[in-house]
A and B are shown apart, each in its own frame.
Chain A
Amino acid sequence: MSMTPILETRNLHRRFRVSQGHFKPKATLQAVNGVDLSVQRGETLGIVGESGCGKSTLAQMLLGLLPATSGEVRLDGRPIADLRRVDFARRVQPIFQDPFSSLNPRKTLLDIVTMPLRVHAIGSRAEQEARARTLMDRVGLPAGFADRYPKELSGGQRQRVAIARALVMQPDVVICDEPTSALDASVQSQILNLLMELKADFGLTYVFISHNLSVVEHIADHVAVMYLGRVVEKAPVDAIFDAPQHPYTRALLDSVLTVAPDAGVPELALGPGFPNPLRPAPGCPFHPRCPRAFEPCSTIPPTPVPAEGRGAACHLTEMTPRGAAA
């Protein structure tokens, strides 16, 4: 843990002012609320959570597309606010969820994949195209596709184009925001396999954001679980999936419908009350739905999970020494 993480966040916050309608005061949405995370070079950090937990806002901030309200994102220990936009872009690249909106419909695939190189004026036009063609070949696109338009491609093929574009500048970190959520199962497995191969070949570091826990379990080394803008638990993948500490993590895992014909639909001991992100509960934000909530949960916020290391932001685990469950 003494190595400098390649990408980390320090007490990262992002607030949005949300209109509640005419003549009503604007409300504040804490989309990301004090997130401390770190990724070591060559690792895959999985981030899971349900809609509205702030994982997509976090992805935008990790890509430098959205400034922090407070706190900072660091690359190799340096705050990205101090880095030049173009220098940061060479090292951190995105893969987005929707392969239909992530490719410009008016450009050929070759134009799409060479775009980052042209923006950075790397190499001659011929060199740019050669590099793009090599990568398109590497991600499994047939050679004849270079002059085609996105419309002519299937969802899986489009996602391969997006991957080629993300890798064409040889970045160190790739932020994958739900990269397979829009795909069919048979295509999803192809893309996941490809991502795993590319990671090994190019020594990539992934931040893999998904609501699909089975996928995250398969691909991630470390996993952070988010709830209402906070990281509620963070641990190596084995620990999270084999011995979850936080009641919310447990509920999430229980609700995953793995192939198990006799298991039936799981019964979750969760309150049905969907939280209002504009008015999170005092104390632990999860306590209104928590089956194991007790007295301090409604008043005292639990200690956040530290950036380095592991743990759960829960009063239950605070009573036992941290890490004892490993």
Chain B
Amino acid sequence: MGALLTVDDLRVDIATPRGTLRAVRGLTFSVNAGETLCIVGESGCGKSMTSLALMDLLPRVAKRSAATLNFADTDLSDRRKARRIRGNQMAMIFQEPMTALNPAFPIGDQLTEAYLHHKGGSRAAARARAVEMLDLVGIGSPAERLGQYPHQLSGGLRQRVMIAMALMTDPKLLIADEPTTALDVTIQAQILRLLRDLQQKLGIAVIFITHDLGLVSRIADRVMVMYAGAMVEEGTAAQIFGAPRHPYTQALIECIPQPGRTARGTPLGTIPGVVPSLVGQIEGCVFRSRCPLARRECESHVPTRGAEGHRWVCVDDAPAPALEGTTR
């Protein structure tokens, strides 16, 4: 299948008193119809800025630029065309549904708003669609729920409402920014299963943004690892977790306790140092200030290695020590 979303050299620059903060530094990737791309990284790596840039929801001080930004043959850098896509064929789910939902309006109004805007039709039709979507995301007695306010719902239910809202316009691409981070683990598992089932049923592509490597390993078709605003490695979940090639990916996986692989009570892997300042250009490898393998070559241009499926940005092409995938 062809790519649904094509992004080439995406950049987000934020003007600060100390200079231009380059939050996203030339990101190139694509998302195919129906697949799940996970963007993973630690705070400040630019993953959320990427999602906001795609949805054109960046704060005013941030400037977006891209060589290519195409969604199903529509150029998203044309803001007028993009307005018809955004919130319609491209929808977004946020981390904190309590702040994403307006506390002053019943959820029925909020569910139908985007639908009426993009699809038109009668209020009754929109409400029928809302009931259908609430039912689809597993909310009982959906018709009564339309009159409820966000604060009357639990965190898990609110996130289901957010998903239902995103699905109202029958999108082809769903961008989910840490949608389960605020939820308890049992609720998280239920929401993730729901997302997966809906994806299979409706054939939606998903960009899932998270810091949780375990979660990524469970849901991703493809994984993009970001560091300091740049992609450092991209591949299938099996490639990223089975044979990570970039030192950052390897180190990050070593940091989390993995039952069955890391012995209880033993020291965990760490990444010394701090993320470099994102103000201004970074010459050479973005990770070199913390990389155990850093050497002279890393200070100049670093090539992107690997084939289409699995690529990484590193001076080293030597195979990394294989890490076995683990299952409890």
- Nearest-Cβ distance from residue B138 to partner chain A, whole angstroms: 7
Which chain B residues border A274 with CB–CB below 8 Å? 154, 156-157, 187
Which chain B residues border A189 with CB–CB below 8 Å? 254-257, 268-270
Stretch in B14-22, B52-60, B213-221, B276-284 with 4+ CB within 8 Å of A: B213-221
Which chain B residues border A307 with CB–CB below 8 Å? none
Interface pair A255/B185, CB less than 8 Å apart: yes
Interchain CB contact (< 8 A) of A268 among B42, B186, B214, B262: B186
Interchain CB contact (< 8 A) of B242 among A211, A252, A261: A261
- Nearest-Cβ distance from residue B300 to partner chain A, whole angstroms: 26
The interface bits of chain B over 299-328 (1 if a CB of A lies within 8 angstroms of the residue's CB, else 0) are: 000000000000000000000000001111
Which chain A residues border B188 with CB–CB below 8 Å? 255, 257
Interface pair B271/A256, CB less than 8 Å apart: no
Which chain B residues border A260 with CB–CB below 8 Å? 214, 217-218, 325-328
Stretch in B73-81, B161-169, B190-198 with 4+ CB within 8 Å of A: B190-198
**Cα-based distance from A153 to B149 in the complex (angstroms):** 39
Known: A51-B184, A262-B327. A186 touches B212 (CB 8 A): no
**Cα-based distance from A64 to B214 in the complex (angstroms):** 36
The interface bits of chain A over 176-202 (1 if a CB of B lies within 8 angstroms of the residue's CB, else 0) are: 000000001111111011001000000
- Nearest-Cβ distance from residue A22 to partner chain B, whole angstroms: 15
Q: How many residues of B contact A (CB 8 A)?
A: 54
- A219 — nearest CB in chain B belongs to which residue? B265
Interface pair B326/A218, CB less than 8 Å apart: no
Which chain A residues border B193 with CB–CB below 8 Å? 265, 267
Interface pair A257/B256, CB less than 8 Å apart: no
Known: A252-B185, A260-B327, A265-B193. A196 touches B265 (CB 8 A): yes
Interchain CB contact (< 8 A) of A186 among B138, B218, B252: B252
A320 within 8 A of B: no
B2 within 8 A of A: no
A98 within 8 A of B: no
B237 within 8 A of A: yes
A110 within 8 A of B: no
A124 within 8 A of B: no
Interface pair A257/B265, CB less than 8 Å apart: no
Interface pair B257/A256, CB less than 8 Å apart: no
B72 within 8 A of A: no
Q: How many residues of A contact B (CB 8 A)?
A: 43
**Cα-based distance from A50 to B326 in the complex (angstroms):** 25
Interchain CB contact (< 8 A) of A214 among B42, B186, B258: B258
Which chain B residues border A266 with CB–CB below 8 Å? 189
- Nearest-Cβ distance from residue A200 to partner chain B, whole angstroms: 10
Interchain CB contact (< 8 A) of A265 among B138, B184, B189, B255: B189
A321 within 8 A of B: no
- Nearest-Cβ distance from residue B260 to partner chain A, whole angstroms: 8
Interface pair B265/A259, CB less than 8 Å apart: no
Output the residue of B215, B237, B255, B257 with the most chain A CB within 10 A. Answer: B257
B238 within 8 A of A: yes
Which chain B residues border A262 with CB–CB below 8 Å? 238, 325, 327
- Nearest-Cβ distance from residue B141 to partner chain A, whole angstroms: 13
- Nearest-Cβ distance from residue A270 to partner chain B, whole angstroms: 6
The interface bits of chain B over 271-298 (1 if a CB of A lies within 8 angstroms of the residue's CB, else 0) are: 1001000000000000000000000000
Which chain B residues border A263 with CB–CB below 8 Å? 217-218, 327-328
B118 within 8 A of A: no
Interchain CB contact (< 8 A) of A258 among B138, B265, B326: B326
**Cα-based distance from A162 to B286 in the complex (angstroms):** 30
- Nearest-Cβ distance from residue B197 to partner chain A, whole angstroms: 10
Interface pair A259/B187, CB less than 8 Å apart: no
B259 within 8 A of A: yes
Interface pair A258/B259, CB less than 8 Å apart: yes
Interface pair B187/A193, CB less than 8 Å apart: no
B43 within 8 A of A: yes
B211 within 8 A of A: yes
In the A-B complex, list the 9 residue pairs whose CB atoms are closest, starting with the nearest: A218-B257, A189-B268, A50-B184, A257-B214, A189-B255, A184-B42, A186-B271, A255-B189, A261-B237
Q: List 9 A-B contacts (CB under 8 A).
A: A184-B42, A188-B255, A255-B185, A258-B217, A258-B326, A259-B241, A259-B258, A265-B218, A267-B189
Chain A positions near chain B (C-beta within 8 angstroms): 50-51, 154, 184-190, 192-193, 196, 211, 213-215, 217-219, 237, 241, 251-268, 270, 272, 274
